[in-house]
Amino acid sequence: MTPKLRIDRTEATPLQDQLAARIRAAVAAGHLAPGARLPSARSLAAQLGVARGTVDAAYARLGGEGYLVTRGPAGTVVAPALRIGASPASRDRPAVTPPVASPVAPPWPRVLPFRMGLPALDLFPRALWARLVARAARRIGGAGLTYPDPAGLPALREAIAAYLAVARGVACGPGQVIVTAGYQGALALLARVLLRPGEAVWCEEPGYPLARQALAAAGARLLPLPVDAEGMAVPDAAAPARLAVVTPAHQAPTGVALSLPRRQALLDWAARRDAFVIEDDYDAEFHYVGPRLPALKALDAGDRVILAGSFSKTLFPGLRLGYLVAPAALAAALARASLLLAHGAPGLEQAAVAAFLAEGHFARHLKRMRGAYAARRAALSGAVAAAFGRSLALTAGPGGLHLLARCPEGTPAGWDTGAVARAEAAGLGPGALSAQFLGPARAQGLLLGFTNIADTEAAALAAALRRAVG
């Protein structure tokens, strides 16, 4: 029996193309078996309300493609020799089982109040950005249309090097800057260039889960090292490792700054062990209390530090742009990895961000955001303290984009993850401290992003969170 073939007159696609596509799909899906007879062109045309020539043309095309054969009086049939799809052997097999199967939950997470790791989406200068993007698009030339330089747009690499010299105390040339698809893209390049499967990587405990997952997926063996009030501690007799991944400015998620002695110990370890340190400098721009240390990379006379920066917090994450500052000897290998993993980043965003930096918008935007974040941080701190009283101990680090409300000792295991699930059900998006441990969680608490909570909403949202978590 012929399956129902429909066409849609509201589509821009020519009717004969639609019809041919429908027939191919019916054959591929097994609704039209090899040898099956199709309606005559005349009768199908009448049934569909199209000209007979339309059906003739579709049949002729499918004949040329080997799908259909015409058999005189027997009419048009699906090519009997056509063997579609699975062989008998494969029909007995179970469905495809992917070797790595950890699904992303659909739908893609909404931005809920308290979600950490995001800049203030309401304060981004969208009109200015749209102007710069439109200008970059209008000016696109042959160089912007062809394959991009996998190391990054030269103008952007220069703007980043100039910015880092002043803002982060990092002296580097544009040749050391590699543009990446954000921090995840940076880790993909570094893992490809520096890691062999099974090699060890030190990481902070607790620490940023997505970075650890990316490294593990790239074959790294993760060695968590505890974080205390001075940041990650480097034991004297530490196991050998190829890399250490740290967040020196504001440790993710505890917010503590890596102390100067710890920084020096880390550099010494890397030099002694021929290892590299990846400095995840994700939110160093947002510092509110006390002096801000320059980047660890600024102390790195031995060329053991690779600084990874991102525009996800300073501009917005949908850009998917970040950068590496690498020892000059690694730059070519990282560019090569970028060529093979993605062939570089799209030119349009790179050109717009280069203009954003070079024309002074970036410095102004950061200054404005530091002020706004300081205010939102203060407002939410006050509101959370008022709502939770002494049931949680609020610790605000010297900078960053979230608060940490620690649970008292003796809180039953699993409380914070349960609280987060209850909050999510109420439309709120805090994070759980215990979920940021690779090993057994040694602390619990709520991670509270303040960047997307206006001062005037803080009290109501803190109260709603208190009610939701119980």
Cα(399)–Cα(251) distance, integer angstroms: 10
Among 157, 262, 287, 292, binds a copy of itself (CB under 8 A): 292
Cα(3)–Cα(209) distance, integer angstroms: 50
Minimum Å distance from CB 268 to a copy of itself?
Answer: 5
Q: Comparing C-alpha atoms, which of 305, 331, 294, 302 is closest to residue 167?
A: 294
Q: Which amino acid is at 372?
A: A
Cα(157)–Cα(325) distance, integer angstroms: 10
Measure CA of the first residue to CA of the last residue in the chain; give whole Å.
61
Closer by beta carbon to a copy of itself, 364 or else 442: 364
192 contacts a copy of itself (rule: CB under 8 A): yes
Stretch that binds a copy of itself, among 69-77, 78-86, 226-234, 432-440 (CB under 8 A): 78-86
298 contacts a copy of itself (rule: CB under 8 A): yes
Query: Any residues with CB less than 8 A from the CB of 211 and at least 6 apart, and which?
Result: 183, 184, 187, 203, 245, 280
| 109: Cα within 13 Å, side-chain hemisphere | 13
Minimum Å distance from CB 30 to a copy of itself?
Answer: 6
Per CB under 8 A, contacts with a copy of itself among 155-174 are 165-167, 169, 171
Among 1, 74, 89, 237, binds a copy of itself (CB under 8 A): 89
Stretch that binds a copy of itself, among 121-129, 397-405, 409-417, 461-469 (CB under 8 A): 121-129
Minimum Å distance from CB 106 to a copy of itself?
Answer: 8
Stretch that binds a copy of itself, among 193-201, 224-232, 245-253, 387-395 (CB under 8 A): 193-201
236 token code pair: 């004297």
Tokens 């890691």 -> residue: 195
Closer by beta carbon to a copy of itself, 298 or else 308: 298
Farthest CA pair distance, the chain: 91
Among 44, 177, 324, 330, binds a copy of itself (CB under 8 A): 330
Stretch that binds a copy of itself, among 231-239, 271-279, 383-391, 443-451 (CB under 8 A): 271-279
344 contacts a copy of itself (rule: CB under 8 A): yes
Stretch that binds a copy of itself, among 68-76, 208-216, 277-285, 387-395 (CB under 8 A): 208-216
Closer by beta carbon to a copy of itself, 208 or else 388: 208
Per CB under 8 A, contacts with a copy of itself among 300-329 are 300-304, 312, 316-321, 327, 329
Minimum Å distance from CB 434 to a copy of itself?
Answer: 22
Stretch that binds a copy of itself, among 343-351, 376-384, 398-406, 426-434 (CB under 8 A): 343-351
Per CB under 8 A, contacts with a copy of itself among 230-269 are 260, 264, 267-268
288 contacts a copy of itself (rule: CB under 8 A): no
Among 36, 69, 77, 118, binds a copy of itself (CB under 8 A): 118
Closer by beta carbon to a copy of itself, 46 or else 340: 340
Per CB under 8 A, contacts with a copy of itself among 358-377 are 360, 363
290 contacts a copy of itself (rule: CB under 8 A): yes
Per CB under 8 A, contacts with a copy of itself among 410-469 are none
